[in-house]
Structure 1
């Protein structure tokens, strides 16, 4: 049987949907009091039988801080997809990222070793990769170089990877995946889906910074293919395309039938923005929408090679234009259904 951790997140929910199309039952972990409405919503994007599919999930409460609850969740399990993580660029979340992304992964790896799990697919991030020199593409072999620009999130995902590599050295059959920025329909108020909301609301600014992007369904399908293969003790970048922020926002604006962003954000503007929003957060007690890390990422150029993955499995990426169009259609449907209520 299969266990998916982080099943209520963007990637986890899509992975559950794809797995349930092939397997009669799948177990998924959740935190106490977690709402399952988001998972049902994701299923409804792709199926008229969303409720029937949802009922095939065996939900278990699991705390990554508690190895005993992990071992309980692993009973009868032979394959694990570890999607659970805290994604944040806020310093206030540093402790939580350390607990979940590092110590939680350590506990899961130890429990998998103890329970003789057949295979683990661990979801890391491009944030855990080294940074290539200018004009070069980042690969799985690009050396890690720490600097004052390295985010706390990057540190936590890198440290989490090291726990998985340690598990491999101790006999765990595992594969690490490093997805780029995941694009797909989901909670339009946070994470990458929030970009659709920003563009729909009239986002005016863009940059010529470049980053990697991948369709959520592609990440899910690549993970399943890697799980079903004999591949082990390796890691793979999962990146559909490198796009500038201008290209990304223009694609979103076109799909949403909204004006294209027209004002280029300059480095000095980004520096003022994150400082102003940080000052504002002191009064509102709400996390700023732009941090020092995200502001600087917005201006950087990062390029990622996915050739290793394509050389090992039979796989084809969805174009980002198509991925954005499909996601935008779900966004518009959600907006329409809300306005009718």
Structure 2
């Protein structure tokens, strides 16, 4: 049985994936930052080993990689705020390089890097972007896109230097528990449940279920071609249909009307002003200027490569939405 290390294991995606590994009986090592609590792994602490290292600390990473056979790299800053570019460069770009180099130096067989469809670029309306989409044609840019792309390039550079195999999984937006209830996709589920999502942005996006997150990462480790990208998501879906699907799962009324683009842009400016007052910039409002363009356009991606080469078959979002709703219910009772 391979010894598996998961970076970013306390965060939403890392914890979701780590729990899936644990349930499959895997030998898991969760990599946490020094002094960090279990986060999304609370309640299952006795079922995995914990090691500590910051991805910005190459020496600590080398120590953490001892005896590891496979690495799943989830650690990163997932936010579109351009004012956090410096932090994203440190973690999403240089940190990814440090992880891959440490893995290579420790004799790890393969690293699967949890990248993002954002690294592919944002395609024009009416176009399905695949892994070879020319990023120069992206309809907009932001620091998250740039640093996730930079992280892929750094991972490939480190792979070439050390010989460790690297596979990139470009995940769609994953709807998963263990984030903050007031931010991100958990917030959207919560607000829909409360009947507050009466309108919807006119755009759309690629959403990924927990099942497809897990199967995509595992298949990339088992069958992915080295130094190759794989787009993994469950469905290209409009915001109208996404919120309507959430509403159906949580028993709330579906949204009634599209929110006009000018109103979304105003909300973005207000979100930026409100977010600037917060001590923790990671808890940014859902709508900020950097992502208003993303909410106005249908940003859709092609999963043909993952389906053909990895044998993936997309699953519905409903189970993941229900998992988030159950987690939110537990959080409300705490």
Distance 2:12 2:134 in 1: 29
Tell me the TM-score normalized by structure 2. Answer: 0.90
**How do 1:42-53 residues align onto structure 2 when only pairs under 5 Å count?**
51=44
Aligned length: 326
Structure 1 residues 193-232: Cα deviation after superposition (integer angstroms, max 9, x where no partner):
2211121231222122010001123212221122123632
Which residue is equivalent to 2:7? Answer: 5
**Structure 1 portions without partners, runs of 5+:** 42-50
Which residue is equivalent to 2:89? Answer: 98
CA separation of 1:198/1:60 partners in 2, compared to 1, >3 Å: closer, same or farther? Answer: same
Q: Quick check: 2:58–2:102 contact (8 Å CA) kept in 1?
A: yes
Matched, 1:194 2:191: no
117-126 vs 262-271, which moves further: 262-271
Kindly report the root-mean-square deviation, in angstroms, between the aligned alpha carbons of the 2 structures.
2.2
User: Secondary structure of the equivalent of 1:298?
Assistant: helix
Equivalent in 195, 205, 213 of residue 211 of structure 1: 205
CA drift at 1:126? 0.5
Q: Quick check: 2:169–2:216 contact (8 Å CA) kept in 1?
A: no
CA drift at 1:142? 0.8
CA separation of 1:184/1:148 partners in 2, compared to 1, >3 Å: closer, same or farther? Answer: closer
Equivalent in 319, 324, 327 of residue 321 of structure 2: 324
Structure 1 residues 13-60: Cα deviation after superposition (integer angstroms, max 9, x where no partner):
12212222344531111012222142135xxxxxxxxx4xx3131111
**Structure 2 portions without partners, runs of 5+:** none
**How do 1:69-218 residues align onto structure 2 when only pairs under 5 Å count?**
69-145=60-136, 149-170=140-161, 171-187=163-179, 188-201=181-194, 202-218=196-212
CA separation of 1:2/1:326 partners in 2, compared to 1, >3 Å: closer, same or farther? Answer: closer
Which residue is equivalent to 2:31? Answer: 29
214-223 vs 98-107, which moves further: 214-223
Equivalent in 302, 307, 311 of residue 304 of structure 2: 307
CA separation of 1:161/1:37 partners in 2, compared to 1, >3 Å: closer, same or farther? Answer: closer
Q: Quick check: 2:142–2:290 contact (8 Å CA) kept in 1?
A: yes
Distance 1:22 1:331 in 2: 24
198-207 vs 139-148, which moves further: 139-148
